[in-house]
Copies of this chain bind each other. A is one copy, B any other.
Amino acid sequence: MTTYSELPKKELLDLKAALDKEYAEHKAKGLSLNMARGKPAAAQLDLSMPMLDLVNAESACVSENGTDLRNYGILDGIPECKRLMASMLDDDPENVIVFGNSSLTIMYDSIMRFMVFGTQGYTPWSKLDTVKFLCPVPGYDRHFAITERFGIEMVNVPLLEDGPDMDVVEELVKDAAVKGIWCVPKYANPSGITYSDEVVRRLASMECAAEDFKIMWDNAYCVHHLNADTAEQDQLLDIGKACVEAGNPNRYYKFASTSKVTFPGAGVAAMAASPANIDEVRSHITIQMIGHDKLNQLRHALFLRDGEGIAEHMQKHAALIAPKFELVVKMLEEGLGDTGCASWTNPRGGYFISFDGLEGTAKRIVGLAKEAGVTMTGAGATYPYKRDPKDSNIRIAPTLPPLAELEQAMEVFICCVKLASVEKLLEV
């Protein structure tokens, strides 16, 4: 088949008429399907139900260090859960603080502290005229929402196959107003790519004009492989070791959570950083709280045990969601492979497939899908200020709907992509 852009106008018009008809048929079904949110499906949540029995009315509720976990105390996490989260964060337990159920909150509070108090003796960012943050795009909307809320100016950086475009990054960090970068370094949201060792080393070692430059290393999908075969799993270099080796030990903040391991509504989140940074964070949170939910930390430590326990558990997730990713990629390939109107990623882990349509079609595609009862992530959501300069990127989240619904939703989506593409080509 010829790609759409090579079709003569007459054939485009015929195609449009056929697509209009198909679209109307989809609409007539009165669907209500959702591919918007990176939410686990109920079957995935069922995998962790046994955890709820591990701390019960008969439990001792005592930590291995003797603390009664029902009572006050332990600011930075119970030892067994610090060890567990250290395995996710690829760090030593003593460099880990375990928080509540949201890594997003840890990141928000970290940015807040940089703004209000500064870090390691440097000027609080709120006292500076301009503060900028680098945002590899497409990226995670909720990162961008945090920096936007604190009045930090966001600068787009292209995300390539192996991480942010480091030539661009190294140029931008010569500006002392550039104070940090958001990273989802493994199975990135939404593109699914993993940073190469070289990119990690360049991030760790690059010359930053701002001495308090921060790498916000949101390793949200660190254990979220889609393949059980380790040869088919991405490997990520540890940013911590890379920063230490480069002589910039205080540059990185690592984040992770069990939100997509156990329960998004009742997981545990944690950070790891240099001893100096961990001490600093501890000195702040000791004013903010007395200690997070230690019984939930115990539940997680008992259920997941260690890195191996996590890996076993994540294979069960993979068994449930890999078929959904395969279905989406197969349908995209079959439906759009020959049209020349779209490209997409085929990730080996994470929660998303990143889709790119023709320039200027993303909003229209999402709008058409919505009208036909299929909710997608809003076009532009993957860019700072919700502004996708090319209006081409759409984030596909395949995990939540059952396979049959996903298939229906993808049929609608593909029809919408074709229709919006033809409309766009007819404009010219």
Contact = CB atoms under 8 A, between A and B. Distances in A.
A71 B39 contact: yes
A108 interface: yes
Interface string A411-423: 0000000000000
A293 interface: yes
A53 B57 contact: yes
A122 interface: no
Interface stretch (A83-91, A263-271, A326-334, A364-372): A263-271
A393 interface: no
Interface in A101-150: 101-102, 104-105, 108-109, 112, 115-116, 126, 142, 145-146, 149-150
Interface string A231-271: 00000000000000000000000000001000111100000
Interface in A22-81: 37, 39-40, 42, 45, 48-53, 55-59, 68-74
Contacts of A57: 49-53
A140 to B, nearest CB: 12
Contacts of A145: 287
Interface size classification for chain A:
35 or more
B71 A263 contact: yes
A289 B45 contact: no
B105 A116 contact: no
A146 B116 CA distance: 13
Nearest to A67: B265
A381 to B, nearest CB: 14
Interface in A277-293: 284, 287-293
A295 interface: yes
Nearest to A259: B72
Contact of A295 (B68, B115, B146, B263): B263
Nearest to A268: B293
A143 to B, nearest CB: 11
A284 B57 CA distance: 37
A221 B116 CA distance: 32
B104 A288 contact: yes
Which of A56, A100, A105, A288 gathers most chain B CB within 10 Å?
A288
A293 B101 contact: yes
Contact of A115 (B40, B48, B116): B116
A320 to B, nearest CB: 14
B108 A266 contact: no
Nearest to A54: B57
Given A71-B265, A265-B295, A101 B104 contact: no
B52 A59 contact: yes
A296 interface: yes
Given A68-B45, A72-B264, A112-B112, A104 B290 contact: yes
Contact of A263 (B59, B70, B288): B70
29 contacts: A42-B68, A45-B70, A45-B71, A48-B70, A49-B58, A52-B55, A52-B57, A53-B56, A70-B265, A70-B266, A71-B263, A71-B264, A72-B259, A72-B265, A100-B100, A102-B289, A102-B290, A102-B291, A105-B288, A105-B289, A116-B116, A142-B287, A146-B288, A149-B287, A263-B295, A264-B290, A266-B294, A266-B295, A266-B296
A369 to B, nearest CB: 21
Contacts of A259: 72
Contacts of A49: 57-58
Contacts of A142: 287
